[in-house]
Amino acid sequence: MSNCDQPRLASCLLLGLLLSSAPLVAQEDVPAGEAAMGELAELDASAGSDASPLPSLPGLFESALRNDADLARQRLELEAVEQEVPLARSELLPQLTATGGYLYQDSTNVQTSPDDFGLDQQAIRPGEIDEQYWQVQLRQPLFSLERWRGLDTAESRIGVAEMELAVVERDLALMVSEAYVNAYLGSGKLGLLEAQRESLELQVRQAQRAYDLGVGDRINLLEARSRLDQAIADAVQAGNEYEDALSELERLTGMLPDFGVQVLGDLSAVVMERDWSDEQRWLRQVDQNLDLQRALAERKLRDSDTRVRRSGYFPELNLNLSYSDRVSEDELRESEDYRASVELSMPLYRGGYTVASVRQGELRAEASQRAVDNQRNLAAQEVRQRLRALNGNVRRLEALGQAIESSDLFLEAAERGEQLGLRDLVDVLDARASLYDQRIQFVDTLGSYVLDRLALNSAIGDLGSDDLQETMRLLDSISDSSS
């Protein structure tokens, strides 16, 4: 008892009683002392045995580009809109039409039936006639401001469709990345929570053992059971999140990737940008935001449409060429005609239609400018929010890294104290459970950091395959399979 001072007397007696009474309760299958430490050692040894390599995020995105139905729909929409240009160009090219017909006519008049009108003369035209006719007509616009400006409008529509396709591709990249990160986090958390659950089960058994021997506190037992139940509930939730993420990846990519069991390695190995305080540098790149670019394309389309509407005040000049041939039983109706004409059309009054149409176009153009201003403000606000989130995530990761390092030292000290008889095994298990909690928080925060970084690149229109590679690098840097 020389190693135990007065305040530690009760603790030493309790530890000695637990160790000495092991044979009395062996039938309860409750580990104690070295047996429990052996189980913990087995948990540590098996923690890295099932590490799995990460699926390729860029490869999954390539699969999504081929598989996603919404992206395929938008591509078809773009192909359809691209036909607006030949449609508009056709209005400037010659229009050639051919018509033909058959006519039967039974006429009664002074020329076909003079007797019916009291005239004593012969009929000079037949009363019943059959005739066939056909005509070829060529119409070439010489001047039409509305049709020329319509070609510019068609090209503007293609620009809007292209930007919409780019936005869909960007959103698809974000969705695939988010599902990928969630699947990775779910896999890693499942491994941590499973190890935490087994550690807490040992803690519950030790608390139950102490309580059964009459030297433990019921409150400690209930607390241990509560933490175990919470760990089980967290594992169920993590499993559901993992399955949801895999299901989302399968929907987007048409593939079901296997993340296996992601075993975390050295969390201090994460290499990431630490300083996100240069807000102005990022705000200067906001003009490349895809939503803003789409709004700009829509404004250009509205401006072009307004110019087309104003063209309604201008005249049109057309060249008309035609040939017609009519064959009839009535010789006076037979004809063969060649015609050429230049036609000028000038709108004078349409009941106020042109004025209202132009005013409508101007209002829509003004509304599209407001949409541009709104998208620019939203993009800038998105950049500011993501920068604040990234700075917060970096500070939290640094704090959690220090906390994990301290918890590692505390766990090592607790294990050493348990070996020397200065600490209870329950203290060791409690320190280990706390370490698992902090590692889980670190993984969650790193996932938030990765997603915020992708969202920031998206906000400045700079989201590319290199960002997906960087995401994999960050996740792989804390995975034990990378070493």
Q: Is residue 80 classed exposed, middle or buried when 0-12, 13-18 and 19+ CB atoms within 10 A define those classes? A: exposed
- pTM of the entire predicted model: 0.79
User: Cα(459)–Cα(285) distance, rounded to whole angstroms?
Assistant: 9
1 within domain boundaries: no
DSSP 314: S
Instruction: Report the interhelical angle of 34-47 vs 145-212 (nearest 10°).
Output: 160
User: Cα(51)–Cα(191) distance, rounded to whole angstroms?
Assistant: 10
Average pLDDT over every residue of 439-466: 92
Torsion of CA 290, 293, 297, 303, to 10 degrees: 150
State pLDDT tens for residues 79-98.
Answer: 999 999 999 999 999 999 99
Whether the predicted pLDDT of 19 surpasses 50: no
Percent of the chain, pLDDT > 90?
52
Average pLDDT over every residue of 372-387: 96
Can you say whether the dihedral through the CA atoms of 436, 439, 445, 446 is positive or negative? negative
pLDDT of residue 30: 38
Average pLDDT over every residue of 125-136: 90
Average pLDDT over every residue of 8-17: 34
Please give the order of strands across the beta sheet that includes 316-328. 95-106, 128-144, 316-328, 335-345
* Residue 300 pLDDT level (bands cut at 50, 70, 90): very high
133 within domain boundaries: no
Q: Which residue has the higher pLDDT, 111 or 157?
A: 157
User: Cα(200)–Cα(426) distance, rounded to whole angstroms?
Assistant: 10
323 within domain boundaries: no
pLDDT of residue 26: 32
pLDDT of residue 39: 53
Whether the predicted pLDDT of 36 surpasses 80: no
338 within domain boundaries: no
Whether the predicted pLDDT of 475 surpasses 90: no
Question: Residue 438 sits in which domain range?
Answer: 10-80+152-302+362-482
User: Cα(334)–Cα(325) distance, rounded to whole angstroms?
Assistant: 8
141 within domain boundaries: no
User: Cα(240)–Cα(250) distance, rounded to whole angstroms?
Assistant: 15
Whether the predicted pLDDT of 426 surpasses 90: no
Average pLDDT over every residue of 140-169: 95
DSSP 224: H
387 within domain boundaries: yes
* Residue 397 pLDDT level (bands cut at 50, 70, 90): very high
Tally of domains in the chain: 1
State pLDDT tens for residues 356-366.
Answer: 999 999 999 99
pLDDT of residue 162: 96
Whether the predicted pLDDT of 24 surpasses 60: no
Q: Which residue has the higher pLDDT, 189 or 199?
A: 189
Q: Whole-number mean pLDDT of the chain?
A: 84
pLDDT of residue 223: 80
pLDDT of residue 262: 73
Range in 110-119, 401-410, 452-461 with the lowest mean pLDDT:
110-119
Whether the predicted pLDDT of 316 surpasses 80: yes
Whether the predicted pLDDT of 34 surpasses 60: no
pLDDT of residue 292: 96
Distances (CA, A) of 58 to 55, 164, 244, 384: 9, 22, 20, 27
Residue 281: enclosing H or E segment and its boundaries? helix 279-283
Q: Which CATH number does the domain housing residue 16 bear?
A: 1.20.1600.10
Whether the predicted pLDDT of 460 surpasses 50: yes
pLDDT of residue 25: 33
Percent of the chain, pLDDT > 70?
88
pLDDT of residue 172: 95
Residues 425 and 33: beta-carbon distance below 8 Å: yes
pLDDT of residue 379: 96
pLDDT of residue 9: 32
Average pLDDT over every residue of 399-422: 86
pLDDT of residue 51: 54
User: Cα(363)–Cα(360) distance, rounded to whole angstroms?
Assistant: 5
58: Cβ contacts below 8 Å, ≥ 6 apart: 465, 468, 469, 472
* Residue 42 pLDDT level (bands cut at 50, 70, 90): low
90 within domain boundaries: no
Token output for 165: 């396709």
Average pLDDT over every residue of 346-358: 93
CA 363 to chain centre: 32
Average pLDDT over every residue of 7-16: 35
pLDDT of residue 62: 94
pLDDT of residue 60: 94
Q: Is residue 37 classed exposed, middle or buried when 0-12, 13-18 and 19+ CB atoms within 10 A define those classes? A: middle
User: Cα(353)–Cα(35) distance, rounded to whole angstroms?
Assistant: 93
